[in-house]
Amino acid sequence: MDRALIPDGLKRCPLPVFALWTLILVGVIGWGVMAGAMVLVKALNLTGLNDYFGFGAYITADLAIIALGAGAFFSGFLYYGLSRFFPALKELGKIINLAVVVGFVCYTGALAVLLLEIGQPLRGWFGYWHANVHSMLTEVIFCITCYAIVLVIEYIPLILENRKISEVKSLRVLGHSMHDVMAIFALTGTFLSFFHQGSLGGVAGVLFARPFAFREGLFIWPWTFFLFILSAIASGPAFTALICRSLEKVSGKKLVDRSVYDLIGKIEGGLLGAYMILKIADTAYWAFGLAPRFGFKLGDFYWGPYGIWLLIAEIGICGVLPALILLSPAGRRSNFLLFGAFLLDIIGVSINRFVMTIQAIAAPVMPFDSWQIYVPTVYEWAPILAMLAYCILVISLSYRYLPLFPREKELNRT
């Protein structure tokens, strides 16, 4: 059966090896699901959250994973949308399938974790039914759900391309016809993602009584809205590329042309560079304009484990540095530098999400109030790790049984 499912003409590792690998992942997932179930049954007192840290690891992980999942919509946007005008972007077609899968797992995974985060899951649907239009969270809930659906629709045709399934005529037809309209979904997705990536930024930016997170308005949103979008598209594709690279390493095959990585490097370099310029400008204004107005010095925002090192790491080491590498042809030519830069880029954006979520509330606002430290418990780690394991599992399965990489066959002729 296994053989019959693997795309013909492609080599995959022997079933036992793959089975073992799957088993490990399933184990991790099981562990996380158990922990999640405990949280649902025994309530959130199992976590490290408290009245000071209303948000914690769950939210941070979600924000990060969703930002990185942005590769899906942005690659799609470039490939289906812009490549008409910039033929060079056609190259991305070679990796677009993977991007979709990555997006799919990131978003579905994030939604699952989000369910644990709320104290009354049974009423979760109030978010749709009794929505408060002013709340950024409402925007997030709606967009993420819709986009998750879009991703499912984008993922289906890939599944239908499976050798066995495509034997069924009707399904094959369905698959092809869906492919033809994919552009529309990709662009819808782009639109939705644009909004929720932004509104995720809004979540922090609108906290006008939290000087650490609050930013002033641009159009109708605080500009964190746009910073989050930019940072997401500046890291999402890099994440996809990195995963692709890991697949190559693990499978020992060439899956896409080096040129694809180079192109993504160029794009990310440009975006990250742009993001950094704006982020630095934002930080400067916040530190020397906004905060002082509220009576804060920059130093007031950094303490103990939440030290200034976070700012340096986020903007310097994981921001400006990778941007420079990616912008220099030499940097892109060296695999080490290129993928190193991708990694830093991803870490940087993750730090940003952590800082905007946790440090933003760790910093005391009332002068007679004090700093607090947040330590997540295993009940927070486990579901998060399980979510990652789930992502890896789906990607593994997709790679093994679906023709994700159109050029794989040619690239691996021996």
Site of interaction with another protein (CB under 8 A)? 43-45, 49-55, 117-120, 122-127, 130-132, 134-138, 141, 168-170, 203, 206-211, 292-297, 300, 360-361, 365-369, 372
Q: How far is the CB of 29 from another protein (least distance, A)?
A: 25
Please, what is the end-to-end C-alpha distance for the chain in angstroms?
A: 26
**Greatest CA separation for the chain:** 71
Smallest separation, CB 52 to another protein (Å): 5
Beta strands per DSSP E along 124-246:
217-218, 221-222
Would you say 233 or 362 has its CB closer to another protein? 362
Give 148 or 360: the residue with its C-beta nearer to another protein.
Answer: 360
Kindly report the CA angle at 89 between 148 and 94, in degrees rounded to 5? 65
Least CB distance from residue 143 to another protein, whole Å? 13
Alpha-carbon distance of 414 to 406, in angstroms, equals 17
Cβ distance to another protein smaller for residue 299 or 307 = 299
Min dist. Cβ of residue 171 to another protein (A): 9
Q: Which is nearer to another protein, 131 or 397 (CB)?
A: 131
Of the pair 132, 414, the CB lying nearest another protein is at 132
| 186 close to 154: Cβ distance less than 8 angstroms | yes
Residue ranges in 6-92 assigned as alpha helix (H): 15-42, 57-68, 70-76
Long-range contacts of 179-187 (CB under 8 A, 24+ apart): 182/80, 182/154, 182/157, 183/80, 183/81, 185/150, 185/153, 185/154, 186/73, 186/76, 186/77, 186/79, 186/80, 186/81, 186/154, 187/76, 187/77, 187/80, 187/81
Alpha-helical runs (H) found in 118-168: 126-129, 136-160
Determine the number of helices (DSSP H) and then strands (DSSP E) in the chain: 19, 2
Q: What's the closest the beta carbon of residue 117 comes to another protein, in angstroms? A: 7
The residue among 176 and 249 lying less far from another protein, judged by its C-beta, is 176
CA distance 117 to 5: 38
Residue 388 CB, shortest distance to another protein, in Å, is 23
Name the residue nearer to another protein (CB basis): 34 or 171: 171
* C-beta closer to another protein: residue 83 or 372: 372
Q: Nearest approach, Cβ of 22 to another protein (angstroms)? A: 26
Among residues 265, 230, 234, the alpha carbon closest in space to that of 91 is found at 265
Instruction: Identify which of 46, 68, 71, 73 has the alpha carbon closest to the alpha carbon of residue 57.
Output: 46
| Min dist. Cβ of residue 161 to another protein (A) | 18
Helix (H, G, I), strand (E, B) or coil at 224: helix
Alpha-carbon dihedral sign for residues 124, 129, 130, 135:
positive
Q: Which H/E stretch holds residue 14?
A: none
Contact status, residue 214 vs residue 225, Cβ threshold 8 Å: no
Q: Which of 256, 361 has the CB closer to another protein?
A: 361
For the CB of residue 36, give the shortest distance to another protein in the complex, in Å. 15
- Comparing CB distances to another protein, the nearer of 23 and 220 is 220
Closest distance to another protein from the beta carbon of 314 (Å): 20
